[in-house]
Chain A
Amino acid sequence: AQSVAQPEDQVNVAEGNPLTVKCTYSVSGNPYLFWYVQYPNRGLQFLLKYITGDNLVKGSYGFEAEFNKSQTSFHLKKPSALVSDSALYFCAVRDTRSGAGSYQLTFGKGTKLSVIP
């Protein structure tokens, strides 16, 4: 079984400060990991993903995430937060041992990021 935990329901950060949104996962095999962002009354937008290779993944809007296999984590980071980054962020995982045709993503419960001017 695959699972994702986002331990913080809400993260507050001042504009211009670095931000981190935490994600930990559990899979049987190796993980494929994704971050999505959801703005109010909108669908989810893809930010970045880790499939294989470099542990530091760069994505859209200046976001990046670091895959840490020993800590089973995939935290989302940005060096300098913008007010426009305020949104709901979802981490998702897929186990590479999922059966053929089973490409289901398991999502975390989401973390609300508020960037304070």
Chain B
Amino acid sequence: NAGVTQTPKFRVLKTGQSMTLLCAQDMNHEYMYWYRQDPGMGLRLIHYSVGEGTTAKGEVPDGYNVSRLKKQNFLLGLESAAPSQTSVYFCASSSARQGAGDTQYFGPGTRLTVL
């Protein structure tokens, strides 16, 4: 199993450009999450999904959109990138088997720089 994979690994954008980050998991997990990691701030939840076709806002959703058209994929979009969105983005997934006690498994991250 590859677990959770993310593409691309690195990306540089200019202010105003758009892009989509792709997350894929092969563990048949129901729940998927997008976080951003900034120095000294830990991880903050952007959006999450509890199933195919459903998404919800997390702690810092502004400037991002998401879609979950297939159970195994969770896409994060930036419509008009801003320098404040320079960050490392992590995708995670978890199973519904243990409910809220289940472990989240993380991808390797995407390092995004917005100039």
Contact = CB atoms under 8 A, between A and B. Distances in A.
B38 to A, nearest CB: 10
A43 B42 contact: no
A103 B102 CA distance: 9
A44 B42 contact: no
A90 B43 contact: yes
Interface residues of A, number: 25
B46 to A, nearest CB: 11
The secondary structure that dominates the A interface is loop
Contact of A43 (B40, B99, B102, B109): B109
Interface in A74-104: 90, 94, 96, 98, 101-104
B13 interface: no
A43 B90 contact: yes
Interface string B91-103: 0101000111111
Interface of B: 4, 31, 33, 40-45, 48, 50, 56, 58-59, 90, 92, 94, 98-109
